[in-house]
């Protein structure tokens, strides 16, 4: 099978290689001349045979929307576009409506696996019509992990369901990472525990908390046992926010994932206005000392006495 792939970054480049290893022909396009196979989007489309299948792997939002719109002008009825980026599921409705008006199919596909997907395979969550999923199935089979199809691949439902499922997946990921991280901090804080990296490694086999994320935590601690020099500033890609927004919209209690998202926000603050207000209030009602910023930093650094 022959497929066009737009976006050859860390994920897209590895996906191109995995699809090729499965015996399919991939024509890739990227604005980086060092990795692209063709010079233009037009050249990519011209190199494919009907029905054309084009996979879009670019940042969500405007880059994806503009790419899908351009493909709508270049492709023909019967062709198929797959958005494999981290788009918000509501954007899929717009993209599908645009392409459907021109007789072009559309699928949304949440992709998980990161930089390890080339060797291990990618978890795929797809939304769209049955006939379009069937058309693209050889590519999905090439990308997913080896083994039963339903372990690593799901046709989750209608348009938007793939990205919605991936959004919830990433929200769960936030909560899992936060739980492992909190456990790490508590173990580090207790003086009787002498081998924190060893504790995490011991958990990785035979325990109920074992997971691939735990394996990655073990790897990180083997490379840097005390995480020396690692900033606590933690970004978010947007999907955790969308998950919490959907929880509110659907009245679904989600305290763990919400707390893990807010913890990331807290990591970016030089100082916490919330805790500044709490300190000021303690001073007002209880006469407790309100420390200056310098005094607070001295305590954090172990240079002052607690009051």
Q: Do domains 2-158 and 167-267 have the same CATH topology?
A: no
Residue whose entry in the numeric block shows the structure tokens 């480049």:
13
Residue 153: exposed, middle, or buried by beta-carbon count in 10 A (0-12, 13-18, 19+)?
buried
Residue 306: band (very low, low, confident or very high) from pLDDT cuts 50, 70, 90:
very low
| Confidence check: pLDDT of 300 > 90 | no
What is the average pLDDT across 229-255?
93
Per-residue pLDDT, 305: 47
The domain 167-267: what is its CATH number? Answer: 1.10.1040.10
Residue 145: band (very low, low, confident or very high) from pLDDT cuts 50, 70, 90:
very high
Q: How far apart are CA 38 and CA 74, in angstroms?
A: 15
Q: What fold, for 2-158?
A: Rossmann fold (3.40.50)
Residue 298: band (very low, low, confident or very high) from pLDDT cuts 50, 70, 90:
confident
Per-residue b/e over 6-23, b at no fewer than 16 CB within 10 Å?
bbbeebbbbbbebbeeee
Other CB atoms within 10 Å distance of the CB of residue 135:
19
Those residues whose C-beta lies under 8 Å from the C-beta of residue 303, and which sit 6 or more positions away, are none
CA-based angle 198:202:203, to the nearest 5? 120
Q: What share of the chain has pLDDT > 70, as a percent?
A: 98
Residue 303: band (very low, low, confident or very high) from pLDDT cuts 50, 70, 90:
low
| Confidence check: pLDDT of 307 > 80 | no
Per-residue pLDDT, 207: 97
Residue 272: band (very low, low, confident or very high) from pLDDT cuts 50, 70, 90:
confident
Per-residue pLDDT, 182: 95
Residue 61: band (very low, low, confident or very high) from pLDDT cuts 50, 70, 90:
very high
Q: How far apart are CA 212 and CA 140, in angstroms?
A: 22
- Angle in degrees, 0-180, between the axes of helices 62-74 and 89-100, rounded to the nearest 10: 10
What is the average pLDDT across 236-243?
90
Per-residue pLDDT, 286: 74
Residue ranges in the chain assigned as alpha helix (H): 10-21, 41-47, 62-74, 89-100, 117-120, 130-143, 161-189, 196-203, 212-223, 239-249, 255-267, 273-286, 293-300
Catalytic machinery residues: 166, 173
Per-residue b/e over 171-182, b at no fewer than 16 CB within 10 Å?
bebbbbbbebbe
Per-residue pLDDT, 181: 94
Q: What share of the chain has pLDDT > 90, as a percent?
A: 81
pTM of the model: 0.90
In this structure, are residues 128 and 95 in contact, taking their beta carbons and an 8 Å threshold?
no
- Which tokens belong to 89? 């599921």
Residue ranges covered by each domain of the chain: 2-158, 167-267, 273-307
In this structure, are residues 196 and 188 in contact, taking their beta carbons and an 8 Å threshold?
yes
Average pLDDT along the chain: 93
In this structure, are residues 159 and 96 in contact, taking their beta carbons and an 8 Å threshold?
yes
pLDDT digits (tens, 9 = 90+) for 19-59: 999 999 999 999 999 999 999 999 999 999 999 999 999 99
Other CB atoms within 10 Å distance of the CB of residue 261:
20
Quick one: how far is CA 58 from the chain centroid?
13
| Confidence check: pLDDT of 299 > 80 | no
Other CB atoms within 10 Å distance of the CB of residue 35:
14
Phi, psi of 271 (to 5 degrees): -145, 150
What is the average pLDDT across 104-121?
95
| Confidence check: pLDDT of 254 > 60 | yes
Per-residue pLDDT, 233: 86
pLDDT digits (tens, 9 = 90+) for 184-195: 999 999 999 999
């Amino acid at each position: 099978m022959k497929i066009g792939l737009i976006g050859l970054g860390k994920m897209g480049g590895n996906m191109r290689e995995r699809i090729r290893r499965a015996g399919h022909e991939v024509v890739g396009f990227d604005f980086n001349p060092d990795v692209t196979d063709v010079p233009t989007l037009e050249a990519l489309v011209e190199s494919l045979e009907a029905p054309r299948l084009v996979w879009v792997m670019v940042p969500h939002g405007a880059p994806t929307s503009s790419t899908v719109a351009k493909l709508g002008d270049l492709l023909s009825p019967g062709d198929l576009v797959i958005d494999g980026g981290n788009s918000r599921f509501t954007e899929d409705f717009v993209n599908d409506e645009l392409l459907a008006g021109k007789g072009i199919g559309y699928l949304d596909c949440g992709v998980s696996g990161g930089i390890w997907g080339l060797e291990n395979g990618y978890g795929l969550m797809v939304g769209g019509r049955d006939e379009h999923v069937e058309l693209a199935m050889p590519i999905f089979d090439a990308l997913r992990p080896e083994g039963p199809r339903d372990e690593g691949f799901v046709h989750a439902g209608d348009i938007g369901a793939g990205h919605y499922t991936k959004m919830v997946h990433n929200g769960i990921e936030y909560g899992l990472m936060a739980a492992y991280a909190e456990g790490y901090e508590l173990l580090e804080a207790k003086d009787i525990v002498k081998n924190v990296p060893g504790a995490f490694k011991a958990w990785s086999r035979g325990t109920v908390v074992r997971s691939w994320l735990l394996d990655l935590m073990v790897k990180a601690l083997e490379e840097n046992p005390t995480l020396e020099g690692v900033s606590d500033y933690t970004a978010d890609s947007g999907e955790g926010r969308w998950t919490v927004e959907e929880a509110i919209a659907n009245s679904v209690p989600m305290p763990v994932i919400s707390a893990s998202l807010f913890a990331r926000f807290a990591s970016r603050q030089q100082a916490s206005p919330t805790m500044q207000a709490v300190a000021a209030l303690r001073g007002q009602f209880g006469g407790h000392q309100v420390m200056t910023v310098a005094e607070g930093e001295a305590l954090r650094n172990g240079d002052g006495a607690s009051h």
